[in-house]
Chains A and B, each alone.
Chain A
Amino acid sequence: MMTDSSPPPLPPKVRLRAALRNLLFIGLLAGVIGYAISQLWKPETVPSVSIPNDGAEVIARQVDQAIQAEWTKENLSPVGKADELTIMRRLGLALTGSVPSLEEIRQFESQNETERIKWWVARLLDDRRTSAYLAERFARAYVGVENGPFLVFRRHRMVRWLDDQIHSNRSYDKLVREMIAADGIWTTHPGANFITVTIDQNNDKEGPDQVKLASRTARAFLGVRIDCMQCHDDMFGDRWKQKDFHQLAAFFAPAKVGVTGVQDDENNKDLIHKVRYRGDKDESPVSAAVPFRPDLLPKSGQLRDRLAEWTTHPENGAFARASVNRVWAILFNLSMTEVVDDIPLDGPYPAGMEILAEDFTESGYDLQRLIRIIAATEAFQMASESANPETNPVTGRHEETWAAFPLTRLRPEQMAGSVIQAANLAALDADAHIIKRIQRWAETNEFVKRYGDLGENEFGEQPGTIPQRLLMMNGKLVKERTDVNPLMSAATRIATLSRDDSKAVDSAFLTVLSRRPTTKEHDHFVKSLSGKKGDKRSRAMTDLYWALLNSTEFSWNY
């Protein structure tokens, strides 16, 4: 019989659980405290970035000349250079999907005047936000936005892989070859998702769909839309025949998916592309051939390997032009041609396109260099409004020829990213606290769902909608991120940290609109703050934020 009066020892399982619970609690507590400290105290350091000196400016000047020639021809006068902070905002929106933070603006302004833009581009290209954001833009062209087939397609893996490739500035042609000619499992060879996304698991045909693959390849990598020729010859010209499309599709026909992932079986008679051409009675087998420049196609090797080589061949100008046009579209939110993946194969090409394409090819398909060149062009740094509207008003032609920076509405993810960034004073980059980054991700998704995702055809001008205005006026994100809250709201932090009304208004304008207020705006808002203390002052700042977030200016790229 036991005489010991102390309680019996707990079974090991219970003890373990208790220990784990305590650990979890301590961990959470440490996390919250760490988070709070990170919010209230962040060391001021300007990240050091090296600005490459590789002659990008020289190419930018050549592009300028080509575009200037267009203006001369049309007798157009450019509207003049944009304000530096406006250019900074454009770059933030194009490369990270959000406006710059107040902290970044301060750092920007502390740089040498002649180097500021270059410093900002270099800093953004170094930033994981940029590669992640660009990866998503490119992924939309390669695999669309659908979740795609179950198990055999991992969109997330694909985007992460693109993110890494872009961050390490891998040659763009290698990246594309890795998708077209991908073999293996889609998780370990993420490029293979380009192939597997086309699998339709509930259809009679097993394996990747060569018709979809041909269409994607033509659009995303060559900038030609020959998929309409799937069913008939070109109805708008005689450039393309139905045959052109199906011969391209035939390159992908032997691809199948087995236990080792994507593999080609070129000896399998079932894996030959067959088509009933328009006007024919029966189906006939189609052999692989490229739609132009057959001289560039390697004579031997596996079909997809040959197609990958041909697509990215330095003499295949269509590849470089398609890439240049897409990067231009990412930066301007408008492509050089009317539609990003529709470039006339035999020209004439938009002014400057050939110069950029040739340099892109010569540089070994250096994406970051291409971005630096475009960002340095006169076109990208042009104002969107006219300094002399009486004598030189902005016309549609100005915008079409880049004599004025074209106005476009922010895309949904840019709106969400900008609202969230404007609610913080420091940049939400890789250094930001993990809780903040997770929150940013969740809030962005929720907002974009309500604001309306544009899907894969995301460039160009879109009309605004009533639900969008309702969401900005009355929605949860704007409310939560601007309300009186010392941790989550930059509005409150500005109200409490800036005792001086004038400085507080300046900070709010810089944080939300990336500019300083005009005298009229300044006076109006200083008056709304004056004499207010504590929560009253914070509420006045919330109202200021509301007005800025609901302005036309906030929801447009200009």
Chain B
Amino acid sequence: MMNLLHDYECGTSDHFSRRTLLKTAGLSSLSWLTPMADVLATNAEKTPDLAKSIIILWLNGGPSQIDTFDPHPGKKIAADSKAIETSKKGVFVNEHLPQTAEMMGDISLVRSVVSREGDHERAIYNIKTGYRPVPGVVHPAIGSIVCHEMPRPNIDIPTHISILPGQFPSRGGFLGAQYDAFKMGDPTQPVPDLKARVGEDRQKARLESLEVVEKRFHRGRSETLAKTRTLHSDMMKQARKMMTSEQLDAFNVNDVPKSEREPFGDTPFGRGCLAAIRLVEAGVRCVEVTLSGWDTHVDNTNLTSERTKILDPAFASLIKSLKDRGLYDNTVVLCGGEFGRTPHLNPADGRDHWPHGFSMAIGGGGIAGGRVIGETDPNGEKKDPAGRINVQDVHATIQYAFGIESDRQIITPAKRPIKLSDGFVIDELL
């Protein structure tokens, strides 16, 4: 029996990335759960080309790489799925991604992502956090790490948002629940729990009554309790500030002109992508937009094409719009799911889970576009793709784009030092 976790080592000298070795001050930093806000605030001023936000288009269920970004046209494994050439000569994608194909100069494709997790729940954890699930610790998702490591923007709304969250939205893990993604649905609908249930007068009376009750609890307790520990009234104030903030407009796309909305497609996902742009524009650090339905164990080609038709206009318009607004250079866009799907069709014309070489699209925030990394076996036999990229490498690359030190170790509440990422930066994407 193999020891499967073996190549996932923790916190030892093996893990220095190439970047760290190049650094002049190679001191390993070991610090507590303190945001590096101050340090990074000055850094960000000096280096305006760093990423400031990230948008993750989460394709929940595990999209087939062959029917999206890695088509192998003409090969047996392509089955009846067709491909088109993109604006990058010689690079093909699925025929239902024509608009995305046009944007290929701005997006790179990593076609050789490899993981060891073939179960949805575990794989989602793995891709979102860059770590495999292990007992005793919950790793933070990439969006939570970005929010923790970057200075907090001066906004009334949450800095980490999940639009149309699936079953497992991004979580703050050991960084704390305050780094969990704020969950919202279709951006034409009101954001849940934001509207007071009673009129202004009654709300005022309720808050006055609350003050009366709060006094009793603080009797005989530390004077700093509310300010440093419960943070109850602070959270309440921030929540109330959010309830009446003008920045809430960014959540809602109802008032956006039709001409601006239409290119994204008339779907919740398309509207989610449009809202993501508006949220990033408002200063939000991480927005995750989920498109589910990629778990195509039966009738793969048809079911996947329905999904790609939703993805295509939304993804392409997202990039276009970010560029038009001058946001793309500071916004990383990542598109992918928890794993790929088997190269060969199963008897039900479906494709099953395949973590042994699948695709992710990435661009923006200083990450190069127009590149293709790695190559899967055109015959679908070999499990190890050429130019293999580990999941954690994608994380290290994203963190690098933000100027975040992946090697920085955080001491978890359980007193365990864990690096922000133990992957290597993908040089080809720089």
Residues on A facing B (Cβ under 8 Å): 79, 144, 146-147, 149-150, 200-205, 209-212, 215-216, 219, 225, 227-228, 230-232, 235, 246, 249, 253, 270-276, 283, 338-339, 341-342, 383-387, 389, 393-395, 407, 409, 450, 452, 454-457, 460, 462-471, 473-475, 479, 513, 518, 520-521, 524-525, 528, 543-544, 546-548, 550-553, 555-556, 558
Contact = CB atoms under 8 A, between A and B. Distances in A.
A203 B133 CA distance: 14
B348 interface: no
A471 B128 CA distance: 26
Given A219-B135, A470-B194, A555 B232 contact: yes
B194 A474 contact: yes
A144 B136 CA distance: 9
A229 B353 CA distance: 31
Given A385-B221, A389-B221, A146 B133 contact: yes
Contact of B220 (A204, A338, A386, A456): A386
Given A339-B415, A466-B238, A469-B236, A543 B206 contact: yes
A273 B1 CA distance: 5
B183 interface: yes
B133 A465 contact: no
Given A201-B119, A219-B135, A227-B135, A475 B193 contact: yes
A383 B9 CA distance: 45
Interface of B: 1-6, 8-12, 116-119, 121-122, 133-138, 158, 171, 176-178, 180, 182-183, 192-198, 202, 205-206, 209-210, 212-222, 225-226, 229-233, 235-236, 238-240, 242-243, 353, 355, 413-416
A457 B138 contact: yes
B235 A465 contact: yes
A546 B206 contact: yes
A464 B5 contact: no
Contacts of A387: 220
A521 B212 contact: yes
Given A394-B221, A469-B236, A275 B194 contact: no
**Top 10 A-B pairs, shortest CB-CB distance:** A202-B118, A385-B220, A547-B209, A469-B239, A470-B193, A552-B232, A553-B217, A231-B9, A547-B210, A474-B193
B230 A464 contact: yes
A533 B153 CA distance: 49
Given A146-B133, A457-B136, A543-B202, A203 B1 contact: no
17 contacts: A146-B122, A210-B1, A227-B134, A232-B12, A246-B3, A276-B6, A338-B415, A342-B415, A409-B230, A450-B193, A466-B158, A474-B195, A513-B213, A547-B209, A551-B217, A552-B217, A553-B213
Given A200-B118, A232-B9, A389-B220, A205 B4 contact: yes
Contacts, number: 221
A463 B231 contact: yes
Contacts of A283: 2-3
A389 B219 CA distance: 9
B220 A342 contact: no
Contacts of B235: 464-466, 468-469
A544 B12 contact: no
Contact of B210 (A455, A470, A471, A551): A551
Contacts of A548: 213
Nearest to B137: A457
Contacts of A463: 176-178, 231
A479 B226 contact: no
Given A216-B135, A551-B214, A552-B226, A528 B209 contact: yes
A467 B6 CA distance: 39
A180 B415 CA distance: 27
A479 B9 contact: no
Identify which of B1, B121, B197, B216 gathers the most chain A CB atoms within 10 Å of its CB: B1
Nearest to B138: A455
Contact of A203 (B6, B10, B116, B233): B116
Contacts of A275: 3, 6
B213 A551 contact: yes
Contact of B230 (A384, A460, A556): A556
B128 to A, nearest CB: 14
B177 A452 contact: yes
A543 B209 contact: yes
Contacts of A460: 413
Nearest to A475: B193
Contact of A474 (B11, B134, B196, B415): B196
Identify which of A205, A215, A464, A556 gathers the most chain B CB atoms within 10 Å of its CB: A464
B306 to A, nearest CB: 25
A470 B220 contact: no
A385 B216 contact: no
Contacts of B353: 202
Nearest to B207: A547
A272 B3 CA distance: 10
Contacts of A455: 138
Given A227-B135, A543-B205, A552 B214 contact: yes
B1 to A, nearest CB: 6
A506 B240 CA distance: 29
A342 B414 contact: yes
B305 to A, nearest CB: 25
Contact of B136 (A215, A270, A475): A215
A274 B2 contact: yes
Nearest to A546: B206
Identify which of A204, A521, A547 gathers the most chain B CB atoms within 10 Å of its CB: A547
A274 B138 contact: no
A37 B38 CA distance: 63
B3 A274 contact: yes
Contact of A520 (B212, B226, B238): B212
Contacts of B10: 228, 231
A479 B197 contact: yes
A252 B135 CA distance: 17
B4 A203 contact: yes
A450 B222 contact: no
Nearest to B221: A385
Contacts of A385: 219-221
Given A473-B196, A525-B209, A552-B230, A273 B3 contact: yes
Contacts of A389: 220-221
Contacts of B242: 466, 470
B65 to A, nearest CB: 16
A292 to B, nearest CB: 20
Contacts of B231: 463-464
A472 to B, nearest CB: 9
A538 to B, nearest CB: 13
Nearest to A456: B135
B122 to A, nearest CB: 7
B243 A200 contact: no
A395 B224 CA distance: 11
Given A146-B121, A253-B1, A543-B206, A521 B216 contact: yes
Contacts of A407: 221, 225, 229-230
Contacts of A150: 119
Contacts of B210: 547, 550-551
Contacts of B202: 543
A271 B222 contact: no
A209 B133 contact: no
A246 B205 CA distance: 63
Contacts of A272: 1
A305 to B, nearest CB: 20
B206 A547 contact: yes
B197 A474 contact: yes
Contacts of A341: 136
A465 B177 contact: yes
Contacts of A386: 220-221
A473 B243 CA distance: 11
A473 B192 CA distance: 12
Contacts of A544: 209
A235 B9 CA distance: 13
B216 A231 contact: no
Nearest to B210: A547
